[in-house]
Structure 1
Amino acid sequence: MKQEISFTRKVVITTSVVLLLSGALALVLYAVHFFFLVFASILFAVLLRAMTNWLHDKTGVGKGLALALSSLLFFGLIFLAGWLIAPTVQAQIEDLRETLPSSIERLKDQLGRTSWGAKALDELESSQESMMPETQEIVNKAQTFFTSTISIITDLFIVIVIGIFFASSPAQYQKGIVSLVPVRHRTRLWEVLDKSYETLKWWLFGKLVTMVFVGILTAVGLMLLGIPMALALAVIAFFLDFIPTVGPILASVPAILIAFLDGPMAALYVAILYFIIQSIESYLLAPLIFEKTVHISPVITLLSLVLFGILVGPLGVILAAPLVAVLQVFVRELYIKDYLERDLPKNQ
């Protein structure tokens, strides 16, 4: 009788655990965009907190004042960069607008000299009218673009506000997370959360260094090649370098297309330039920076980009790398060390 009760109890417990995990997974998948916004807020909070701790240690000011100064410095640098770059970018766009029609005509002339190019141009011209969207379709696309823009601005506002709250008192939120687990595991979870913070901090630092490197080299290289909008393209390369593997490829596309207006050889030189910059970053700079801080397998990075891109869209692609870095910490510390290797000798 006791064995039957014990078996029934195990079945009930197992079923309850499975249902609980299934419900949690369904909630995560249903509100996955929300959880990624929370993680983006945490990432921003880590950046502000790292700056705050640095100012506190170097100047001795209170952490509240240091956080305010860090926030002003962060947003001030963004505003200053935009104020300095915007006039140049605007002037380059105006120049490109003036030269673009003649460049397109030169491109058509070059394509028309080949049999396949002439055929492609004929098909393009014949189907040009059918490719023009109807008025209602244009209105729908405009509404979609407007809605997406509002959504992006709203998400950005949420990330900034929540990130500042997280950065203002991280210990309070960390304590709240730790209190959700049994008492005997709280010290260990606190250690893992501290390691996660250090991982994200050094990942952000390393990524910022590589982004600056890519942006500067792209600007200098494109200027030396005489490519229009060199500064604007460098800014694009700077921001897209935040996304590993895929970002640099996306950044090279507009530069190659613009260079192709000056001829195939110019496009080839630009492609070679981006390849060299990406090779230096991937095989020399990144290993040197991340060797003792954060190492993420390129295969895992690429797979995470695809997975999170499918689940969340662009936001998932942007946050895939830092999220994988944190997940690595939890898997290594809580699963490998505390579970798989718990019976191994300490010196092994």
Structure 2
Amino acid sequence: MVSFFTQWYKQKFSDPNAITLVVILLAAFLAIYFLSGLLMPVFVAIAIAFLLDLPVNRLGQYGLSRKWSTVVVVSVFVGVTLLTMLGLLPVIWQQSSNLLQEVPEMITQGQSYLLTLPEKYPQFVKAEQIQSMISMVNEKIIEWGQAALKASLASISDLVALLIYLILVPLMVFFFVKDKKELLASFSVFLPKDRRMATQVGDEMNQQIMNYIRGKVIEILIIGTVSTITFIALGLNYAVLLGVLVGLSVLVPYVGATIVTFPVILVALFQWGLGSEFGYVLLAYGIIQALDGNLLVPLLFSEAVNLHPVTIIVAVILFGGLWGFWGVFFAIPLATLVKAVLNAWPSSTDFPVS
């Protein structure tokens, strides 16, 4: 057994470049795991910098300096973001408030309908089962209400931090984009010279992350806009709120679409019942999800992601559990990182065992 592990170690860790890659990955993992709360604005700024790097490079091809290209692109991005937030946030807030006010009535109607099931289908449903289900739902609603109250109280103390982030993040984005080469050169000074594998993995992941973030933002905008317009055209209540939720649901592959389906179905059901309008909403929503999964995602991510769906789901669960929202957002690039490391790792034939 000892001889087996000794041979395995010599095969996999004989190359100093492999040791360097392991050290870099381990240091990055520990830094993110223990300092993610403090470094969250930095992660946000890096993600936005990846998004804006392409338009800055395109402007540079037309003769504009890196500095002024960054000024133009960052200014446009901040301006569009502020206008979008000022236009959408009041509507989303109003629709969210109205929906929360209607939730008690929805719950009452749902409970009344459930209580009629034992009379309609006595051979399948018992009154005791319905009462147990209603009690469980009421307990969960109380728990969710308490959690929401605690979150709202905690969010008050985070307002100051949010305002600071709104100032710091655009500044960091500006310098990350403008001084990209200088920052990377300064960071590389601290790395060992034997870093061929780390450089190979880094170059691959740089392109992967840029393609992924750019594609994901485009997917969110397209799906969110199409869903909102469709819900408005069908006359669905809370169309803007539900459209935004559908757009944001693409952040979590497979799982997000499943979760956001429930509010869409419930709002349509309580608005129209099991009528033709309800069917039209389900049909339109199904078409949007089908086009997203079978047309939009292959077009946007054909070069960025080549992973099995099971691998993606496992990555979402694992990295989401480790790093929350950003773990979920970067689950696919992180899974691709693992794949790139495995592909770059020396095989048993690279270094003969002595």
TM-score (norm. length: structure 1): 0.71
Taking the TM superposition and a 5 Å limit, the aligned residue runs for 1:21-32 are 24=27, 29-31=33-35
Partner of 1:41: 45
2:239 pairs with 1:239: no
CA distance in 1, matches of 2:101, 2:152: 26
For residue 169 of structure 1, report the CA deviation from its aligned partner.
1.0
Q: Deviations over 1:48-107 (max 9, x none)?
A: 22221122224x322111111111111211222233334544564576577666655544
Partner of 2:85: 82
For residue 305 of structure 1, report the CA deviation from its aligned partner.
1.0
Q: Deviations over 1:269-311 (max 9, x none)?
A: 5455444322222222212332234333322221111111221
CA distance in 1, matches of 2:116, 2:64: 69
Partner of 2:226: 217
* Percent identical: 22
Instruction: Provide structure 1 residue ranges, at least 5 long, that are not aligned to the other structure.
Output: 1-9
CA distance in 1, matches of 2:109, 2:37: 45
2:146 pairs with 1:174: no
Aligned length: 321
Corresponding residue to 2:324 among 306, 313, 331: 313
Matched residue type, 2:248? F
Instruction: Provide structure 2 residue ranges, at least 5 long, that are not aligned to the other structure.
Output: 1-9, 119-124
Specify whether residues 153 and 317 from structure 1 end up closer, same or farther in structure 2 by C-alpha distance, changes over 3 A only.
farther
Note if contact 1:103-1:261 (Cα within 8 Å) is conserved in structure 2: yes
Specify whether residues 157 and 317 from structure 1 end up closer, same or farther in structure 2 by C-alpha distance, changes over 3 A only.
farther
Partner of 1:55: 59
CA distance in 2, matches of 1:132, 1:93: 19
For residue 121 of structure 1, report the CA deviation from its aligned partner.
6.3
CA distance in 2, matches of 1:84, 1:291: 33
Note if contact 1:203-1:322 (Cα within 8 Å) is conserved in structure 2: yes
Partner of 2:294: 283
TM-score (norm. length: structure 2): 0.70
* RMSD, aligned α-carbons: 4.4
Matched residue type, 1:113? T
Note if contact 2:70-2:178 (Cα within 8 Å) is conserved in structure 1: yes
Note if contact 2:78-2:170 (Cα within 8 Å) is conserved in structure 1: no
CA distance in 1, matches of 2:126, 2:223: 34
Taking the TM superposition and a 5 Å limit, the aligned residue runs for 1:1-348 are 24=27, 29-31=33-35, 33=37, 38-58=42-62, 60-86=63-89, 88-89=91-92, 92=95, 96=99, 106-115=109-118, 120=130, 124=134, 143-146=153-156, 160-183=170-193, 185=195, 190=199, 192-262=201-271, 263-264=273-274, 270-332=281-343, 334-335=344-345, 339-340=346-347
